Structure formats: C-alpha cells, structure tokens
Structure 1
C-alpha cells in the first residue's frame, strides 16, 4: 500500500487513519445537528413602557384568542 504511521508501536495504514478522521468529523457534525435545543418561548416578549400598557396588551391578546376559538 501507500504508507503507514507508527502509533503506539503498531503500523497503522494511512487509509485507515483518514477513514477514522472522516468518521470522527461526521460524528461530531451529526452530534451538533441533533443535540437538543433550548425551548423557544411561545410568544415574543412584550415590550411595554409601563405595567398598565403591558396589562392592556395581555388582556387584548386573551380576548383575541377567545374570539379566534369561537370562529
């Protein structure tokens, strides 16, 4: 074959080393894609300038959801 490296006293062919590293990169990529993500909030945060405004917005959204369920 083409060549080899001596690792821990054993001769390892270069094609096996390359296959190991390709597999390791693929496994790391698959892990990074499949790892669980933090849950996203159901609604965006309310940016209100006062507590009264925030209460009004929340009440309005609740009324809109009730009306949506009726239709």
Structure 2
C-alpha cells in the first residue's frame, strides 16, 4: 500500500490528502470565479465643454434610442 502521514494520531493515506488538497484548491477557485463583479456603467461618461452641449448629446441619445426601439 502507499505511504501515510500521522495527523492528530490517525494514519491518513497519501491519496486522501492529495484529494483533499485538490478539492480545497478547486473550491477556492470556484469562490473566486463566482464572486460578483462590480457593476459597469451602461454608457461612457459624457465629456462636454458646456452644459448646453451635454444637454444636446443627452437629447440626441434619447431620440436615437427611441428610434431604435421602434
């Protein structure tokens, strides 16, 4: 039979230790991969030189989205 380690007075076979390590590693990766991502803004920020320009851009985008949904 394969070797073993004595942990807390019990003989633990090597294959059990390796399966436990692989399971813990996979579980840690699953927790990392399934962690919720921060929400991304729907559109990039509008960098206008004046408030009139920003209002015009927002109005234009609203009209374009309304046209697109038709």
2:8 and 2:47 mapped to 1: Cα distance?
61
Q: Which residue of 1 aligns with 2:19?
A: 19
* Alignment coverage as a number of residue pairs: 70
Q: TM-score, normalised by structure 1?
A: 0.78
Q: Which residue of 2 aligns with 1:54?
A: 54
Higher deviation after alignment, 57-66 or 41-50: 41-50
2:13 and 2:35 mapped to 1: Cα distance?
33
Unpaired runs of 5+ residues, structure 1, are: none
Deviation above 3 Å: which 4+ runs of structure 1?
A: none
